[in-house]
């Protein structure tokens, strides 16, 4: 068996693990579908209450859908470690002939499937309930937009996994905390121009800021960057490399310090 076939089997093992979690744990599927829908409905009705123009509705709902994609995409990567910590099976899994790449790749693929499902459902519902055409920019911009968000979710998920190797099951708080920071700084609900200068500078360090500007430009909103996709993908690739290194170092530290064994007792 060739090395790539071995890698594919190891990656598919983590994909299958998340599939079983989704299939057997009803609340995981509930979390995937329910909360993004509630977020869209609540914000959508708020736009109706404020009698916003169609362009402002588009601005906000693009952000809400993007948030749902990132939030759901990172859950599968985060939970692959958190469930093992909670079930006291982490040391058995880490004793297998795998590495961080297999863990992240397998769960990220399932995260992309769940994120695509969420994006499809939210876009269809927003068209029906709020007359918002999410598909207006066309397939190519949508693919670039979705892929950027999916890669950003991988960064968040890996950071949560790295924290899980250090702090155990308590690190699930980080998943919500990181997403909350992204909501504050990346212009999910409002343009980053309303932020103070110091926070606005931080916004330009977040890939989602550029992906949102790129996609919203098709609805008539200006871009602060001439090449938003280039900036967004450059940042997300750099963060992927950094978070991969952080995850590998966290796993190495957990093995050397004995934390891995303590979390599995």
Q: What is the mean pLDDT of the chain?
A: 83
Q: Scanning the structure block, which residue is given the tokens 């590998």?
A: 248
Q: Tell me the percentage of the chain whose pLDDT exceeds 90.
A: 34
pLDDT on residue 150? 94
Whether 265 has a pLDDT exceeding 60, the answer reads no
**8 A C-beta contact, residue 106 and residue 157:** no
List the single range of 89-103, 139-153, 215-229 with lowest mean pLDDT. Answer: 89-103
261: its two tokens: 């064994």
pLDDT band at 213 (very low <50, low <70, confident <90, very high): very high
Element (H, E) at 120: helix 100-130
pLDDT on residue 153? 92
- CA end-to-end span of the chain, whole Å? 35
Whether 237 has a pLDDT exceeding 90, the answer reads yes
pLDDT on residue 169? 59
pLDDT on residue 98? 66
Q: Scanning the structure block, which residue is given the tokens 């938003």?
A: 228
In tens, the pLDDT along 172-190 reads 676 677 878 888 899 899 9
Sorted by sequence, the CB contacts under 8 Å of residue 136 that are 6+ apart come out as 218, 219
Residue 187 to residues 124, 184, 191, 218, Cα–Cα distance (Å) = 23, 7, 5, 16
Task: Indicate the DSSP class of residue 221.
Answer: -
pLDDT on residue 59? 94
pLDDT on residue 105? 81
Domain boundaries, the chain: 3-262
In tens, the pLDDT along 59-100 reads 999 999 999 999 888 887 877 777 666 666 666 666 666 667
DSSP letter for each residue of 8-62: HHHHHHHHHHHHHHHHH-HHHHHHHHHHHHHHHHHHHHHHHHTT--HHHHHHHHH
Range 157-181 average pLDDT: 76
pLDDT on residue 85? 64
List the single range of 4-8, 14-18, 117-121, 203-207 with lowest mean pLDDT. Answer: 4-8
pLDDT on residue 262? 67
Q: Which is more confident, 26 or 145?
A: 145
Whether 102 has a pLDDT exceeding 60, the answer reads yes
């Amino acid at each position: 068996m060739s090395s790539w076939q071995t890698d594919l089997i190891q990656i598919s093992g983590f994909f299958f693990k998340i599939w079983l979690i989704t299939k057997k744990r009803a609340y995981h599927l509930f979390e995937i579908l329910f909360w993004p829908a509630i977020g869209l409905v609540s914000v959508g009705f708020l736009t109706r209450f404020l009698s916003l123009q169609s362009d402002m509705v588009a601005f906000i709902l693009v952000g809400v859908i993007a948030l749902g994609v990132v939030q759901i995409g990172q859950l599968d990567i985060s939970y692959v470690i958190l469930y093992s910590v909670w079930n006291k099976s982490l040391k058995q899994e880490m004793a297998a002939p795998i590495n961080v790449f297999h863990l992240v790749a397998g769960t990220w693929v399932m995260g992309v499937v769940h994120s695509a499902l969420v994006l499809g459902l939210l876009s269809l519902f927003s068209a029906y309930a709020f007359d918002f055409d999410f598909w207006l920019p066309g397939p190519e911009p949508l693919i670039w937009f979705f892929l950027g968000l999916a890669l950003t979710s991988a960064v968040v998920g890996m950071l949560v996994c790295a924290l899980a190797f250090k702090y155990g099951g308590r690190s699930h708080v980080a998943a919500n905390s990181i997403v909350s920071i992204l909501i504050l700084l990346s212009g999910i609900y409002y343009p980053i121009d309303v932020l103070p200068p110091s926070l606005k500078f931080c916004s330009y360090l977040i890939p989602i800021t550029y992906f949102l500007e790129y996609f919203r430009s098709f609805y008539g909103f200006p871009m602060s960057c001439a090449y938003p996709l280039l900036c967004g993908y450059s940042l997300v690739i750099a963060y992927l490399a950094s978070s991969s290194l952080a995850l590998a170092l966290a796993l190495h530290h957990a093995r050397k310090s004995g934390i891995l064994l303590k979390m599995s007792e």
